């Protein structure tokens, strides 16, 4: 690596919050097969072996995090959460947040075809970087750094799953009782851009059932669905009682 390349990948180290003792590990993690094929004298090859290791390291770290963050969740729920985090789409999105595409070494053909923005390539590169961190600093140190990167993703995945659980349960309940789907409508939006508050109303047919509020529309819909479920179940209990 020349000084220009060292300076460039130093920017990625800052974004990741990880200073590599062996810069070659990071450089290899950013080296796509197409670049290695076009540069056969390259000393350390491409990132595919690192990708293989990174997938295993990430599975273990995320599994450990889920066990600690959600001690009461059953195995099935933990598995679903892990699958929602350790898959191509969220890994690529996280890779884009760190602008990893800017640092990749690509062959001419891959560069011309937009490789720096390809979802699969970005996801694989992030797994390679995780492996490089693991090899550079050992499991204990790297797992702490990787956990700090992934915890917001895990929290969001859990919130999305909870939201979907309430909405799915309400949908099933609504179809059973009323033979129609619930509808969500935005009632109000308030607050500055950095601290928005949304209020969502929920109706079934022509009947207004409940409302909910949250910092985004998804959370507000979740709270509306939760309130609607509680109201409908209470009403049903009173009728049967």
CA distance 112 to 76: 43
CA distance 213 to 188: 9
Q: How far is CA 219 from the centre of its chain?
A: 17
Which residues lie closer than 8 Å to 79 by C-beta, 6 or more apart? none
Is there a catalytic annotation at residue 127? yes
Radius of gyration over every alpha carbon of the chain, rounded to an integer in angstroms: 23
Is there a catalytic annotation at residue 72? no
**Catalytic choice (51, 127, 158, 199):** 127
Which residues lie closer than 8 Å to 29 by C-beta, 6 or more apart? 47, 50, 125, 128, 129, 131, 132
**Catalytic choice (46, 55, 110, 221):** 55
CA distance 102 to 9: 10
Catalytic residues: 55, 127
């Amino acid at each position: 690596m020349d000084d220009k390349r060292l300076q460039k990948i130093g920017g990625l180290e800052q974004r990741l919050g990880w200073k590599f003792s062996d810069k070659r590990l990071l450089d290899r993690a950013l080296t796509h097969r197409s670049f290695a094929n076009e540069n056969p004298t390259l000393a350390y090859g491409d990132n595919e072996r690192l990708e293989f290791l990174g997938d295993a390291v990430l599975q273990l770290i995320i599994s450990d995090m889920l066990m600690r963050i959600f001690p009461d969740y059953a195995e099935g729920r933990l598995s679903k959460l892990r699958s929602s985090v350790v898959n191509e789409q969220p890994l690529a999105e996280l890779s884009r947040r760190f602008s990893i595409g800017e640092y990749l070494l690509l062959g001419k053909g891959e560069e011309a075809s937009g490789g720096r923005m390809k979802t699969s390539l970005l996801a694989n590169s992030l797994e390679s970087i995780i492996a490089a961190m693991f090899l550079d600093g050992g499991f204990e140190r790297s797992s702490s750094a990787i956990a700090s990167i992934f915890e917001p993703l895990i929290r969001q995945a859990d919130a999305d799953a909870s939201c979907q659980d309430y909405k799915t349960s309400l949908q099933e309940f609504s179809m059973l009782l009323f033979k129609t789907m619930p509808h969500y409508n935005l009632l109000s939006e308030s607050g500055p851009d950095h601290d928005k508050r949304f209020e969502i109303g929920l109706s079934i047919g022509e009947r207004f059932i409940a409302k909910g509020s949250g910092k985004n529309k998804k959370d507000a819909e979740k709270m509306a669905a939760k309130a609607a479920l509680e109201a409908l179940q209470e009403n049903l209990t009173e009728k049967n009682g």
